Structure 1
Amino acid sequence: MRYSICFTPPSGDPLSLAAASWLGRNVYSGLAAEHPGLRGLSVHEIAFHTALPRRVGFHATLKAPFRLSEGSSEQALLRELMHFAGTMEPVVLSGLSIGRIGDVYGLVLDRPCPSVDYLAASVVQAFDAYRAPLSEAEIERRNPDRLSAPQFSNLHRWGHPYVMDEFRFHMTLTGPLLARDFPRIEDALRSHFSPVLAEPVVINNLALFVEQGAGAPFVVHSLHPLGRVASRRIA
């Protein structure tokens, strides 16, 4: 079993519902969802291009998937996550929009957001004691020869190359695409997601995701609201 600490909107949020439809799976229930009918892109094409992100579900990774370290337990992890979330404040993601990272599309920020970078770095550090060391096979799957020096250092120190200064907030929506498909996919994504991105997205919780077994789909185990209870009531 593996765990990861992520951001994903609440189950009834319009963005969650739009993402479940696009990806074809609800990350809360684990149930299949019907793909949208979009101009210029068939539901079969959507299903094909979303096969990889469908398994992991709609989320932004803060602490990459990890096995529990020796002596750790799910109960202790949950207690720590609840306490930690109460010490952090919600983050407003201004400028979240459809964008491309290499050959993959997702939701990305069009401007720096120090608050989300700080939150991500804090999560990585606070929960590293719960992470079992990577196996040699897990390290090799990260293609260490292709990593920069900081990324290689992060992989060995924190279990993932794209953390700390290498972190970039993103919520993946496709698998790798051919360049010839970029325009159609981007148009379809903008058509589908623009209505639910009209207002800023707020990170107001941390989500614990669980992968029950190797290759199993990730599902949301629990949500942990950010901020002190009194602050949340005022907000």
Structure 2
Amino acid sequence: MKRYAVYYAPPAGEFWDRASHWLGRDAVTGADLVPPDLGLEAAALTRDPRRYGFHGTVKPPFRLADGAALPALHDAMADLCARLAPVQMLGLRLANLHGFLALVPKGDTAPLAALAAEVVKGLDRFRAPLTAEEIARRRPERLSLRQRELLYQWGYPHVMEEFRFHLTLTDRLAEPLAKQAAAILSAHFAPVLPQPFGIDSLCLFGECQDGLFRLIHRYTLSG
């Protein structure tokens, strides 16, 4: 694997199946899937989220630090999830996040943000420092001062108090396509959206040599 990440991914079921089919790929099996016929060119709208698989980021992708190994990361992840408690929110809703469409939580997200912060901090020793090229790709000149501090400290600008959980469904879309897609996808996902929305497990994902992310292991939050 080139990189690893900690994601929330829904367990097997209608929600996971519907989202994976929309993206055209199952990140558990690695299988390509046929998107539903919704009057949208799904393959043209989902290039980035298809690569990562349906997920919500908790700890963003990172390269392993020198001397770190996957078995140790697995053990640390298992220990961490054994101490962390599940979180629950009111549900999910579709939102337009600066042009890309995603499902975001309804209700109080503070416990989820606290959970994500613990994961970011608890596994940081496994993260290799960012290279100058990796920093440049984040366009630090466009970030706020606090986001730049977070980028240099934790390897990503949208963590800690800047964390915003979301399950991405599309690439960045121009209007009016974004408005059209939002109406269609909101109706498409409404029957399977969890209400309430609970997170009781986290997943270790890996980026394969082909650039596609796959699920490696699911850990139950049992704290």
Q: TM-score, normalised by structure 2?
A: 0.96
Question: What is the match of residue 232 of structure 1?
Answer: none
Q: Give 1:120-131 correspondences, 5 Å limit.
A: 120-131=116-127
2:215 aligned with 1:220: yes
Q: Give 1:127-138 correspondences, 5 Å limit.
A: 127-138=123-134
Question: What is the match of residue 30 of structure 2?
Answer: 30
2:57 aligned with 1:56: no
Gaps of 5+ in 2: none
1:111 Cα deviation after fit: 3.6
1:13 Cα deviation after fit: 2.2
2:11 aligned with 1:3: no
Q: Distance in 2 between matches of 1:94 and 1:100?
A: 19
Q: Distance in 2 between matches of 1:88 and 1:53?
A: 27
Q: What letter is aligned with 1:21?
A: H
Secondary structure of the corresponding residue to residue 179 of structure 1: coil
Q: Distance in 2 between matches of 1:19 and 1:198?
A: 13
Q: Distance in 2 between matches of 1:161 and 1:9?
A: 25
Q: Give 1:1-235 correspondences, 5 Å limit.
A: 1-10=2-11, 12-38=12-38, 41-42=39-40, 45-197=41-193, 199-213=195-209, 216-228=211-223
Change (3 A) 1:184 1:82: same
1:34 Cα deviation after fit: 1.3
1:124 Cα deviation after fit: 0.5
Q: What is the root-mean-square deviation of aligned Cα atoms in Å?
A: 1.2
Q: Distance in 1 between matches of 2:132 and 2:107?
A: 36
Gaps of 5+ in 1: 229-235
Cα deviation 1:188-210 (Å, max 9, x = unaligned):
11121100115222111110000
Q: Distance in 2 between matches of 1:174 and 1:225?
A: 28
Superposition misfits of 4+ residues, deviation over 4 angstroms: none
Secondary structure of the corresponding residue to residue 175 of structure 1: strand
Q: Distance in 2 between matches of 1:111 and 1:200?
A: 10
1:33 Cα deviation after fit: 1.0
1:15 Cα deviation after fit: 1.3
Q: Which moved more, 1:141-150 or 1:195-204?
A: 195-204
Q: Distance in 2 between matches of 1:174 and 1:17?
A: 16
Q: Distance in 2 between matches of 1:14 and 1:95?
A: 16
Question: What fraction of aligned residue pairs are identical, expressed as a percent?
Answer: 38
Q: Which moved more, 1:49-58 or 1:189-198?
A: 189-198
Aligned length: 222
Secondary structure of the corresponding residue to residue 206 of structure 2: strand
Cα deviation 1:43-77 (Å, max 9, x = unaligned):
xx111001111001111111110011111110000
Q: Which moved more, 1:122-131 or 1:12-21?
A: 12-21
